[in-house]
Amino acid sequence: MIKQDLSPALQSLHQEVKHYLGRGRTSSPFLATARPVIGITANSTEYGSSLALAYSEAVIRSGGTPVILPITSDLEALTHLLRGVDALILSGGSDLYPLYLDEEPLRGLGEVKPERDRYELLLIRLAASMCLPILGICRGHQLLGVAYGSTLFQDLVSQYTIELAIDHSPSIPKTMAAHKVSLSGLPNRLGELLGIDTQECEELYVNSLHHQALREIKPPFTELAIASDGINEAIDAFPELDILAVQWHPEQMVLGGDQTQLRLFEHIVRRGELYRRARRFHREHLTLDSHTDTPMCFTPEFRLGDYGPTLVDLPKLELGQIDATVMVAYLPQGEVNNEAHQEARLYAEGKLRELHHQVSLYPERARIARSAEEIRQAQREGLKAIIPAIENGYAIGEDLSLLQYYREQYGIVYITLCHNGDNALCDSARKSQRTHGGLSELGRAAVREMNRLGIMIDLSHAAEETVADVLEITTQPVIASHSSARSLCDHPRNLTDEQIRAIARTGGVVQICLYAGFIHPEEAEASYLHAVDHIEHVIRIAGIEHVGIGSDFDGDGELVGCRSSEDLIRITMELLDRGYDEEELSLIWGENLMRVLEQCQAGH
């Protein structure tokens, strides 16, 4: 190093860096665990994109690394920016452009900056599609509400004229409290985050620097806090979205020494840490969804490579970082006779042919995978593995030779023995006439032939007697590709604890279904958090080696907070939050099912 004459001030700075880089440390700072990166939206000034110091300081004090996101409407640039952060803070600033409210500008409207509005509204949609945790502050709180349909007071002074209206923009220092907000009678997640016992203390004192405010709160948001005059002060979209927003400026109160307000930033940093870990897991480990019904949605216009109305397509798999998905040719149960069986075969073949065709259109993004090794090879090459299967043994009618045909011609890896209604093979859990009392003689022969051919037997939809018969005669592990626990949700399609244990004893796996009616007795309330409860239930009674995830997307599978393949990373975040490590996650997210597939296909 060339020595130069340096001022004492520069020498002091150099010594500070040298000390940080090695002196007194047990390891290099470059090897330390990375801190969550928190992107913060910028304000628009005459000098360009800028940000008040208090935001970055609050993030740093909370253990995060702040990054200012420059203002732009370039979607590709914004996407790359968001890929580099673990959470997003929407900062305060100017008024909202009335065009986004479908309103005329009213007297009292302050300065608007449409370019900033557009940039942040684009960021909100992109961040939500990536499942990024979001914290909104003041203007950010208002913008989040408007982005999802809530209405806004353009100017409180002229529009909110009740007798006891308070001044929401008083001449009080930013770092000091200006008025109180009430959490009474409202959802208390905010109180939990701030460490406030809402049973004993229902009020919180906050600063106030706004003249616009949310008016009517629309879903997915709920109201968490209100001022004494009824103006909204906080909203929450959890568990539908990982979004929390407050009307005040907690960063300024943190700057003034308020440790309670610091907890809001500790919350977003903690959520960012979970997101960072989840994203790393999905990048480094195989993730496999064992059941989707997307071929049911095929139309002449459908393209697997487009972001479309289906819950599963290549863009959503890419956003959700899901490596592989089983796409089934689903057949509704019809008449059991020769003519109907022929129609069922033609229908199944049509769906399987189109699935192969759709994948062939995107050789640089996906490939058909017929085996565990082909799934792993696709992952190594950065391609999505699309795995064919059949839902409903109705597709084979009474012709067992079709088992080998479907396996060799289309690469199916499993067959769900039945759907809703009995077929020639077995009785179903629903709409059953108890035709066979379980497996028919043909069904018993089909189980033996599937064992011989290396086709996994899927017990989802099967009657209890059918499940018992299969478990008695199978020589290979079996799966339930999309079923949940009856102990947690009493539905005939779900498996009893004894059935789950019995499947585990074969070496098999139960893939938790994300259909609301199988997850929670109150379907409208069923969320991905409840799905994780089902995963944990199977772990408790059968072991972590016997559970996985089969979404049933595009076949009515959909939960609050997990509505498509792009949302599945939220299940990973919740499992991490409940203490599961990467090795355990890898079992749940695919290795358990891969083990069964490898064992069934061994020698074939």
% helix / strand / coil in the chain, to the nearest 5? 40, 20, 40
With beta carbons less than 8 A apart as the criterion, state whether 348 and 395 touch.
yes
| Average pLDDT by stretches of 10, the chain with 604 residues | 75 84 59 83 92 97 97 97 97 95 94 96 97 98 98 94 89 95 79 80 89 97 94 97 98 96 98 98 98 97 97 97 98 96 97 98 98 98 98 97 98 98 96 95 98 98 97 98 98 97 98 98 97 98 98 97 98 98 98 98 82
**Beta sheet of 179-182, edge-to-edge order:** 65-69, 37-41, 87-90, 134-137, 243-246, 232-236, 222-227, 179-182, 203-206
CA atoms of 304 and 295, how far apart (whole Å):
10
* pLDDT confidence of residue 19: 81
pLDDT at residue 161 in the model: 86
3-state secondary structure of 168: coil
Q: What are phi and psi of 143, to 5 degrees?
A: -65, -40
Residue position matching structure tokens 């007194």? 24
Bridge partners of 557, per DSSP, are: 553
- CA dist., res. 313 & res. 267, Å (int): 32
Q: How far is CA 415 from the centre of its chain?
A: 27
Give the Å distances, CA to CA, from 24 to 21, 32, 203: 9, 15, 45
pLDDT at 23: 56
Strand locations in 316-374 (E): 324-330, 366-368
Q: Rounded to whole angstroms, what are the CA distances from 602 to 16, 194, 268, 451? A: 61, 55, 47, 11
Here the tokens at position 350 are 């049509």
List Cβ neighbours of 413 (8 Å cut-off, separation of 6 or more).
Answer: 326, 370, 371, 387, 388, 389, 455, 456, 597, 601
What tokens were used for 60? 């740093």
What span, in angstroms and rounded, lies between the C-alpha atoms of 125 and 139?
17
Alpha helices in 454-568 (DSSP H): 464-473, 497-505, 516-519, 528-542
Q: What is the CA radius of gyration of the chain?
A: 28
Tokens standing for 151? 């209405």
Expressed in angstroms, the distance from the first to the final Cα of the chain is: 65
Gap between the Cα atoms of 93 and 55, Å rounded? 12
Q: Check residue 188 and give its pLDDT.
A: 74
- Which helix (H) or strand (E) is 280 found in, with range? helix 259-284
Tokens of 413: 């890896």
Residue type, 389: A
CA distance linking residue 48 with residue 120, whole number of Å = 15
Domains contained in the chain, CATH given: 34-276 (3.40.50.880), 285-564 (3.20.20.140)
Rounded Cα–Cα distance for residues 237 and 131 (Å): 12
State the Cα angle at 447 between 445 and 453, rounded to 5°. 100
Partner residues linked to 428 by β-bridges: 462
pLDDT at residue 27 in the model:
57
Q: Using CA atoms, how far apart are residues 314 and 292, in angstroms rounded to an integer?
A: 13
CA distance 460 to 378: 27
Cis amide linkage into residue 220, ω under 30° from 0: yes
DSSP H or E run through 457: strand 456-458
Tell me the pairing of strands 384-391 and 48-50.
Answer: unpaired
Q: Which tokens belong to 68? A: 């200012």
- Nearest CA to 475 among 500, 453, 460, 493? 453
